[in-house]
Structure formats: structure tokens, C-alpha cells
Structure 1
């Protein structure tokens, strides 16, 4: 007599509940740029979505709490002269987001501005072609990675606006994706040449390489697992979706999963991306032990965007097996510490009391003061139009006035946003 043993899942009593219409985002014109990107990024405060924009690139930032129909005149983050191809929220500051087209970092206010955001905190210039991938270091403050169509991977110190490292002569063709390992000591990349590479960025060398982890001709993607293994997605020769889990030490197959493009979340679920028959982007959250529990959300042109809300087991006790400690906002390293060779695991926080947003921390970019440079000897073009009595103290006074005016404008924008929120609450209460 045989006995079948079924492995129990700690998520077996957790089910997704579809959200109501007023908890979705509607009327968002998602970008139609053909690039292998998720087109959106989310953190505990905001969701950012790359949208259509005339005369350049743009993305929209929406507070998580303000769902419903999005005003067609809602302010955008603009300033790119080419389409935005990727966006990524800073893991150590919920108000800082990087966008890829040119490498640009933006400071997003907690309140909704009344006009488009057009001035980035810092613009990073180093790629010779457009940038399609951007990713923050998981543990080091202000370290940002970008990969471009020039086959280069560049690492930046956003706090100074300086280039830290350039990884060149490692990829022979277009880079499809780049991912950090848990402590940010290694990178995994996939390339059009059908190779998966593991790179030590500080040594600037490839430490492991796998050719054709999937036999299909379509793009391959890869990420690091928490235990150091590498998870890949790709296609077979018959264009069937495939997933693979690889042992880094031997770079040999460790385990297989059924076809679907996906990544693992920190909680052990599988997060999938795909397309419906109507060519809408489709998201799924799955339990690899039992069955799908998270349902799906849709990200498409002029369609609602939503994610299911999980319903945990009814209990008054905090269940740390369902809600394990997760990386918090505090970085474990400074940029110069990481560059010098130091590694550190993410600083974890408990979710026992829920997520408590910290006070908005301004990103300050410290660059060399150009006023400290001595002017070149000899006459300069246009010198006759300058006021010889306009000294450096006078210039600093003008700059201080400009800064004060900007602060006044920002304060007024916040006041207007607060009044609009109160008016909206009053209107909803009287309907």
C-alpha cells in the first residue's frame, strides 16, 4: 500500500481578493516603446509608470493611496529628450527614482505637484548610446548601475555625480538585463550573444559564464536568488517559455520549473510577467508549492492597473513565517566603502508593526564648486557685456534669493495639494 505525501505550504490559507474599481488606477496611457521592461516600479509610497509623451520621454508618479481615475492633466516627470526605457526606485530613499534614457535621478515630493517635474537632481553622462537598464545597489548608499546600447555597464556615485567604474569589453552585443546579488558584490547579466555572465564589478572581470542556458532565440533574463543560485527565464527551440535554476559554483542546472517568465520574491513566491491575448501586460503571483493564489493584474494602454490584496489567515498574532524580516531603508554601506572592497548584507527590519514611512530625506548631490575654479587668463568672449562690479558675493546673494524662491514655490504647491485633498474629502462626504 503506497501513501502519497503532500508537502504543506505555509501559504495554503492565503488567497487573493480582487480590488474594487475605486482601488485601481485608470486612464493611464502606458508607453508603447518596444523595450523589454516592466514599464513600472513601485515602493511603499508611490507607483511610477512610463507613459506616452510627445517630444521626449516621461513617466507618471502616483501615490499608492490615491487610486481611481487619473486626471489627464496629472503632472508628469519630464525632461528626457528621448523615450524613457526603464525606471527604478532607490531602495534607501522612497522619494528618489532613477530613469533610463539618459541617466537621470529625480527627487519626488510627498505632495502632488501642480505642474510637471522638469529638473532632475542629477544627470549622469557617460554612455554613447541610449540607456535601457538602470538599477540601484541593494546595500550601498547612492550607488547606481546603468547599461546602455553601447554594451557598457557603468556604476555611478549619485551623491557626487561621478562615474565609479566602467565595465567594458565584457559584452559583445546588446545587454538584455543586469541584476545584483543580495549584498551587491556580484552582477549577473544576459546578452544578445546568448550568454549569462557573472561579473565582479570591482575587479572588473567575468568570474563565471554560461552559454545558451536556454536554446531559444528570444531574450534571456537572469537574477540572483537569496542563496546565491541564479534563476533564468528563456525559451526552448519551440518557443516554449522556460525557467531554470542554476548552481553558480558549477553553473550547471540545479532544478527545473514549468514554463513561464518569472522571478522569485523574497517570500518564496513566483512573480510572473506575460501578455494576454489582447496584448495587455499581465502580472501574476504564484505559490510554487501548491497553486496560484495571487491572481493577476493588468498593465496596458488605457486599462486599469491593480494588484490583488492577499487575505492572510484570521489571527491576532503576528506570523513571522508569512511576513519575514525585509530590507529596510537604511543602507549598510557608503559608496566609497563598497568601492574599496567592503561587503555587507542588507539591514533588515521587522514587519510586526507594519511599515512606517520615514521622514522625507532630501538627496543632496555634492559636486565641486565651479566658482572655486580660477578663470582662464586673457580676455573672454562677451567679457565687455559683463558688469565689472558684479562680484562673487553679489552672485551668491542672487543664488540664495533663487533658492528661497524655489522653497516658497514648493511650499505653495504643497499647500495647494493639501487643500485639494481636503476639498476632495469634503466632497466625498457630502455626496
Structure 2
């Protein structure tokens, strides 16, 4: 006789449950762009969703507490001249989000804590350098203001958002379209997947490929890859028959042809697999024991998902033993899904909530570029996490007048004329900054007055 031994795991009984109908976000025109992006980004303050927009690209930002039916006139974040393909919140500032677009640009936005009265059209900084559409962006996990972008020009670029400058580019690494890019835990390495069927591990500061593997999955459809906490690489792909496969072990999961979006929680070593066009979320625990990837369970719903947002660990409700929260996009709504571990005790569960990366960066952009690495700065969730107040992203561009003139003949110019033009330019720039501050103050005042007017109209004041 053989006895089946059940593997012990504190996450073996994880289950998912949807929220009540009044806690969903409805009447949202989710983008219909055919791009394998999650279309959603979440942090402890906001949920951002890429939406349909005429005459350009846009996404909507909603406070987490503003649930229910979304006003059709709710302000959008606009500014791109073509559809937005990807969005990502800054891990070190909950009010800063980056967007990538078909118009070949990356824009970084400052989102106010209050709801603006008009569309946001002026980004804090616009990053220009790609020659084709930009479909992937990812913030550095530990260095302040370092942002990665990847475009259909097969180019990966790294930017210093604080100065608006490009730090470095990787022009000769990928021979075809880049499918996805992911940082490791401390941001020293990148893993990329490409249409040329190669998975590459890249040291961006040395501009070299550390390791690569050809055709980890035999299928022709896109492959995704992420780093695990231990530094291993987890891939999702397809067989020749378009059946889904996992990279650490190769069970045939199903015959759907929608790309699998992996979301990894390093604190619990659980990877959640969400297929575009599916109605389910499968979750697996990655361990040091063979077969290394252990199936836990599947959450299923009735409606297929068009995209997915994944809440950072610091945004979870620790009092309810919540270990993950997804924001699932449907045709016209966003549905939060909560993953919990059943526990009888009301006390803080130390084993479920080890210290997790907080909002403070461990490095500055110049330190990282110089070769320094640092682990994320961890925080405890024992007393819960309270988002910090709005911190403004400051962009300090280098003065172009400080650059040396190009060599070669040029017309003579007196030093007094140069000093005069420089002082005049600085005076104009200072006046523009003052006008922008005035506009921001007036927008906030208008918003406050509109809120008070609503209270009078409702008879609550």
C-alpha cells in the first residue's frame, strides 16, 4: 500500500473571494488596444486603468475609496498623442506614475491627492529617445527615480526621471520585439524575453548579457519571465500545440491561447498566473524542494479578464490575513479580488507578513549607475501601513547653457550679450514656474469650493 503524503504549507488553504458589488469600479471603458499589457496598476492610494480615448491616449486614476459607478466626465490623464500601452506606479512615491505610448514617448505624472476638476495634460517630465512605440516600462526597485523603458525599436533604455536624462541604452542586445522585462530584487540584473525565442539575463550597467537560453518553450506565442526571491527565473510560455507551460516544471495547464501574466510575491514565494481572456487565477508556491513549483489552488469567476493589477504587499489589510489583492478588468468594470489565508486568531500573523519593501529608496540614481547595489529598505506591517502624504516629484534639468559649444567656426559674440541672454532666460523660466504654482493652487481651491457646493446641495451642511 502507498500513502499519499500532503506537503505542509501555510498557504495550502489560500482562497480568493470577490468584493461586494458596491465595492467595484463600474462604467470604465477599458482600452481595446491589442497589446499584452496588464492595462492596470495599483498602489496603496490609487488604481490606474488604461481607457479608450479619442484623438490620443489616456488612462484614468481613481482613489481606492472611490468605488461604485464612475462618472463619465471623471478627469483623465491625457497628453499622449497615441494609445497608452503600459503604466506603472513609482515604488517610492505613491503619487507618481509613468506611462508608455505608441507615440514613442514615456511620460511621468504627478497625481494629486484630491480629484482634479480637469484632465491632467501636463506631465512632470517627458522622456524622448525611442523611435517606435514604447510598450514596456518598469521602475527600479531600490534606486530613486530610475525608470526602464522598452520599445518596438528593440531598444531598452534607462532614465533618470529626476533630471529627465537617459542614463544608458542597450541597443545591440535584442534582435527582435521585446515581450517583457523584469528587475531582480535589488535591481542589479534584468531578465528579458524576446520574439527571437531567447530569454536573457542582462547586467545593464555593464551592457552585457550574463546568460541566455534559447526556446525555453517550443511554442511561438509570447513568453514571460520574472526573477524569484532566490534569483531563479520563472517563465510562462506555450507548447507547439498552444498549451500553456511553466518554466520551472512543464505541466500542460490548459489549451487557452491567452498570454499568461505572472505576478510574484517574494515574501511568500507565491506566483499568481492570470491569463488574458481567462476567468481564473492560478497560484503556485515556489520552494527549494522538487518539483520546485507546487500547485496551490485556482480562483475562478464567470467573466473573462482583460487585464490585471496587483497590489503591493504594504497595501494589504493585515487584520484580515489578506496575502494578495488583484484588480481584475472586465469589459466596463474593475473588480477587486482578495486572497486570504484562514486563521482563527485575530493577532498579527508574523509568518504571513515578514518585513516587506517600503516606499523609501535605498539608492540614488547616480549611486546605482556608479555600480552600487542595495537591498530594499524593509518596513513592518504589524501596525498596518499608512500611505504618506503627497510628495512632489522634482525634476532638475541641467542648464543647456552650461554645455560647451560645438567645435568649429561660429559668429563672434560679446560676453556681455551671453550674460544678458542667460539672465533673461533664467528670469523667464522662473516666471513660468511661478505661473505653474499659481495654476495648481487655483485648481485645488476650485476643487475645494466644488466639494463644499456639493455638500450644500445635498443638505449635509
Task: Normalising by structure 2, report the TM-score.
Answer: 0.66
CA contact (8 A) 1:85 1:101 kept: yes
Gaps of 5+ in 1: 210-249, 306-311
Q: Deviations over 1:372-402 (max 9, x none)?
A: 6799999999999999999776765565454
Using the TM superposition, name which of 36-45 and 390-399 deviates more. 390-399
Distance in 2 separating the partners of 1:384 and 1:258: 63
Partner SS, residue 306 of structure 2: strand
Q: 1:32 to 1:275 in 2, by over 3 A?
A: farther
**2:390 alignment partner, one of 355, 360, 364:** 360
Question: What count of residue pairs does the alignment treat as equivalent?
Answer: 381
CA contact (8 A) 2:95 2:111 kept: yes
CA contact (8 A) 2:238 2:245 kept: yes
Q: CA deviation at 1:405?
A: 3.9
Q: CA deviation at 1:108?
A: 0.9
Q: CA deviation at 1:341?
A: 1.0
CA contact (8 A) 2:179 2:223 kept: no
CA contact (8 A) 1:102 1:124 kept: no
Q: 1:108 to 1:316 in 2, by over 3 A?
A: same
Q: CA deviation at 1:204?
A: 0.7
Q: Deviations over 1:211-234 (max 9, x none)?
A: xxxxxxxxxxxxxxxxxxxxxxxx
Q: Deviations over 1:96-128 (max 9, x none)?
A: 11111269x111111111111111111111111
CA contact (8 A) 2:198 2:215 kept: no
Distance in 2 separating the partners of 1:15 and 1:287: 24
Q: CA deviation at 1:423?
A: 6.5
Distance in 1 separating the partners of 2:90 and 2:352: 25
Q: CA deviation at 1:369?
A: 2.5
Q: 1:258 to 1:159 in 2, by over 3 A?
A: closer
Q: Deviations over 1:288-310 (max 9, x none)?
A: 9xx999999999999x99xxxxx
CA contact (8 A) 1:286 1:294 kept: no
CA contact (8 A) 2:183 2:227 kept: no
Q: 1:428 to 1:184 in 2, by over 3 A?
A: farther
Distance in 1 separating the partners of 2:230 and 2:436: 43
Q: CA deviation at 1:31?
A: 0.8
Q: CA deviation at 1:317?
A: 1.3
Q: Deviations over 1:226-259 (max 9, x none)?
A: xxxxxxxxxxxxxxxxxxxxxxxx9999999999
Residue 341 in structure 1 maps to residue 371 in structure 2:
yes
Q: CA deviation at 1:412?
A: 3.5
Q: CA deviation at 1:172?
A: 0.9
Q: 1:157 to 1:400 in 2, by over 3 A?
A: closer
CA contact (8 A) 1:280 1:301 kept: no
Q: 1:321 to 1:122 in 2, by over 3 A?
A: same
Q: 1:391 to 1:280 in 2, by over 3 A?
A: farther
Q: Deviations over 1:144-170 (max 9, x none)?
A: 111111101011111111111110111
2:345 corresponding residue in structure 1: 315
CA contact (8 A) 1:79 1:119 kept: yes
Q: Deviations over 1:331-378 (max 9, x none)?
A: 111111111111111111111111111122111111123466799999
Q: 1:314 to 1:85 in 2, by over 3 A?
A: same
Distance in 1 separating the partners of 2:392 and 2:447: 20
2:66 corresponding residue in structure 1: 66
Residue 38 in structure 1 maps to residue 38 in structure 2:
yes
Q: Deviations over 1:67-115 (max 9, x none)?
A: 1111111111111111111111111111111111269x11111111111
CA contact (8 A) 1:285 1:292 kept: no
Partner SS, residue 266 of structure 1: coil
CA contact (8 A) 1:106 1:120 kept: yes
Distance in 2 separating the partners of 1:301 and 1:319: 13
Partner SS, residue 179 of structure 2: strand
CA contact (8 A) 2:42 2:310 kept: no
1:56 corresponding residue in structure 2: 56
Using the TM superposition, name which of 265-274 and 164-173 deviates more. 265-274
Task: Normalising by structure 1, report the TM-score.
Answer: 0.71
CA contact (8 A) 2:218 2:240 kept: no
CA contact (8 A) 1:284 1:295 kept: no
Q: CA deviation at 1:428?
A: 8.2
Q: 1:325 to 1:419 in 2, by over 3 A?
A: farther
Q: 1:270 to 1:192 in 2, by over 3 A?
A: closer
2:309 corresponding residue in structure 1: 297
CA contact (8 A) 2:109 2:124 kept: yes
RMSD after superposition: 6.8
CA contact (8 A) 1:208 1:251 kept: no
